[in-house]
Structure 1
Amino acid sequence: MSDRVVGEDGPSGGEADEVRRFWGRLGLPGLVDVHTHFMPERVLRKVWEYFDGLGPLTGGLEWPITYRQEEAARAALLREFGVRAFTSMLYPHKPGMARWLNDWAVDFARRTPDCLHTATLFPEPDVEAYVGEAVAAGARVFKAHVQVGAYDPADELLDPAWGLLAEAGVPVVIHCGSGPAPGKHTGPEPIERVLKRHPRLRLIVAHLGMPEYGEFLALARRYREVRLDTTMAFTDFTEDFRPFPRALLPALSELGDRILLGTDFPNIPYPYLHQLHALERLDLGEEWLRGVCHDNAAALFRLGAAPAVSPGGGPPSRTR
């Protein structure tokens, strides 16, 4: 695996320096990562156990967790990397779970000002009510996980919630592609049914829609508010089993203003730096890379300007 700067005791300080040099070379004030996971510790431990056990939703792949640290250490490391803003992607796998996850996320956002207040949802009778409560409480992004939740995103129970989020302009990061393993309701067709009803819904398709890359890029062409995140795409790990077709690189370039950096930190089987180098080696140009790594998400979430920081300087501004 390339970019190996993680030792037996966790990430080395050298990785943080390299990450800062990466965005410093681009003249950026830092990074914005729209796909990072923070959730109640007991829930996260269960997620890690699932990866350790090679559960079916991992596609049976060996998946060592690179950043298996306590919550405060993980947040501190993102700051060392120079991540201006990140998310607390969390998701329910059964009814009755989303509301208490959202309650936890309110507290996490309060004590973590550089986290974009994140919420989640599930198809259940009270979904419109608690989504409305989360938006009123300041949620800036939602997470939906069609694969883990095993639900149809076009379920009628979700329709009022999608409408509410579309009206509020709150983006939704949604894992809806059929990778690393397909689910009953994954793929582009259920998502297009949602978008036909709510064309202004700001969906951010996780993992570039892996492995239905072309189909989800086509959806982004048809629906102006559809975006995609780069989570795990183009890395050596993913290219081994779900490679991105090089014939689609022109489409990726054309839609450059709607591609956002995502990483899946901390649940990745390689160093954070490798995701950045994987984007760089696409050779789509520095303007594209600046947009993906910072500017597109900064505009979407209205982060405001931040002064450029030298790669060896202090932490970047995290103006919200």
Structure 2
Amino acid sequence: MSEPAEAAGVRAWTDGLGLPGLVDVHTHFMPQNVLDKVWAYFDSAGPLTGRPWPITYRAEEERRVELLREFGVIAFTSMLYPHKPGMAGWLNEWAAGFAARTPGCLHTATLFPEPGAAGYVRRALDDGARVFKVHVQVGGFDPNDELLDAVWGLLADSGTPVVIHCGSGPAPGAHTGPGPVAALLARHPRLRLIVAHMGMPEYAEFLDLAERYEGVHLDTTMAFTDFAEELAPFPAGELKRLEALGDRILLGTDFPNIPYPYGHQLHALERLGLGGDWLRAVCHDNAVRLFALSQGIHREAKETS
């Protein structure tokens, strides 16, 4: 399918729900040298994936932003993350610049357990960061590391959402799974955590945490798609809870690092059969509320599309 036809199909799907556009809380933009390494990992079917993973939207940064706008995405993130100490600060500097030059981008930042983490997290918040990304699996760290105590306090106090990859998919890590996150929330119950990938494959356990803590959300990234269902199918018995938590589920896609067209994520959500109100909440309304998005960001994004 050509890109114009694909974009028209996504917009038609969104229009059919009566939405002004989509809000995607899990898209990746990062320095090109870092992104090149991520793409090389997927190209090699790295040990965490163990299967072919073609990058559907391998394009220059400007074109990737244009594609999101053509799809009718009115707000999106620039998820980026360090895998070792000393990276988070300069990644945050890059992300601040990207957000400043990219209408519709929710200013994203990241962190790592290291001395000085509280300092650069505070600077990022002062500079206008709207959302943080934490990758427990890639970083290989315990979210309860004492070096992060002050950081979690800052994020809880500010009410800043944190997208956290903490499920054990595609392969378990030393600190993945619901246990470390449950321990973190017991100490910081006001945290606004967005569990990436619906907590795949520990879907039920992360739904438990969302039911227990009102600040816990989950993003749909790759969940319910054909690709993910082969690896970690969502339990049919949990659909009622998924429907009941409809005000806490957010659209995420992993764009551009997905092995299928963008619209497949949307159709995968639709085929759950949870109805138009649920889809409208997930694909737009919940994120608008969580991030206090104004009509201004909607107009700004549309004017550049």
Give the TM-score normalised by the residue count of structure 2.
0.97
Residue 153 (1) aligns with residue 140 (2): no
2:86 aligned to which of 88, 96, 113: 96
The residue type paired with residue 201 of structure 1 is L
Q: Distance in 2 between matches of 1:278 and 1:238?
A: 10
- CA deviations on 1:89-122 (whole Å, 9 max, x unpaired) are 0000000000000000110011002100000000
1:118–1:307 CA distance, 2 compared to 1 (3 A)? closer
Q: Is the 8 A contact 2:166 2:195 kept in 1?
A: yes
Equivalent pair of 1:214/1:248 in contact (CA under 8 Å): yes
1:275 aligns to 2:265 (yes or no):
yes
User: Following superposition of structure 1 onto structure 2, how do residues 109-148 of structure 1 map, counting pairs within 5 Å?
Assistant: 109-148=99-138
1:25 matched to 2:16? The reply is: yes
Displacement of 1:56 in angstroms is: 1.4
The letter of the residue matching 2:288 is A
Equivalent-residue separation in structure 1 for 2:298 and 2:24 (angstroms): 17
Equivalent in the alignment of 1:56: 47
Q: Which moved more, 1:11-20 or 1:254-263?
A: 11-20
8 Å CA contact retained: 1:29, 1:307: no
In structure 1, distance between residues paired with 2:51 and 2:267: 22
In structure 1, the residue corresponding to 2:134 is in which secondary structure?
strand
Indicate conservation of the 8 Å contact 1:307/1:317, yes or no. no
- Preserved CA contact (<8 Å) 2:74 2:298: no
Where do residues 41-52 of structure 1 align in structure 2 (5 Å cutoff)?
41-52=32-43
Contact 1:217/1:251 (8 A) holds in 2: yes
Q: Residue 234 of structure 1 contacts residue 279 of structure 1 at CA under 8 Å; is this kept in 2?
A: yes
| C-alpha distance 308-50 of structure 1, shift in aligned 2 (>3 A) | closer
Following the alignment from structure 2 to structure 1, what is the Cα–Cα distance between the partners of residues 163 and 130? 11
Q: 1:275 to 1:306 in 2, by over 3 A?
A: farther
In the alignment, the residues of structure 1 paired with residue 207 and residue 180 of structure 2 have an alpha-carbon distance, to the nearest angstrom, of 15
State the SS of the aligned residue for 2:224.
coil
Q: Which amino acid aligns with 1:264?
A: D
Instruction: Say if 2:81 and 2:133, in contact at 8 Å, map to a contact too.
Output: yes
What SS does structure 1 have at the residue aligned with 2:18?
Answer: coil
Whether the 8 Å CA contact 1:117–1:139 is kept in 2: the answer is: yes
Structure 1, unmatched stretches of 5+, are 6-10, 310-314
User: Aligned letter for 1:42?
Assistant: N
Shift of 1:241: 1.2
| SS state at 1:57 partner | coil
Q: 1:133 to 1:306 in 2, by over 3 A?
A: closer
Which consecutive unaligned segments of at least 5 residues does structure 2 have?
A: none
- State how far apart, in whole Å, the 1-side matches of 2:132 and 2:143 are: 14
Q: Offset of 1:303 from its aligned partner?
A: 0.9
Shift of 1:305: 3.7
Equivalent of 1:168, from 154, 158, 168? 158
Q: CA deviation at 1:308?
A: 9.6
Please, what is the CA RMSD of the aligned residues?
A: 1.6
Distance in structure 1 (CA, Å) of the matches to 2:295 and 2:97: 26
Aligned length: 304
Whether contact under 8 Å (2:104, 2:297) holds in the other structure is no
Task: Map residues 256-267 of structure 1 onto 2, 5 A cutoff.
Answer: 256-267=246-257
The partner residue of 2:31 within 40, 51, 58 is 40
Aligned residue for 1:8? Answer: none
Q: Cα gap change, 1:308/1:95 in structure 2, threshold over 3 Å: closer, same or farther?
A: closer
Contact 2:24 2:283 in 1 (8 A): yes
Q: Does 1:221 align with 2:181?
A: no
Give the alignment's TM-score, normalised by structure 1. Answer: 0.93
- Equivalent-residue separation in structure 2 for 1:178 and 1:150 (angstroms): 12
Contact 1:27 1:308 in 2 (8 A): no
Indicate yes or no: 2:228 matched with 1:233. Answer: no
AA in 1 matched with 2:21: G
For residues 157-194 of structure 1, give each alpha carbon's deviation from its aligned partner in whole angstroms, at most 9, with x where no partner exists. 11110110000010000000000111000000000111
Deviation at 1:55, TM superposition (A): 1.1
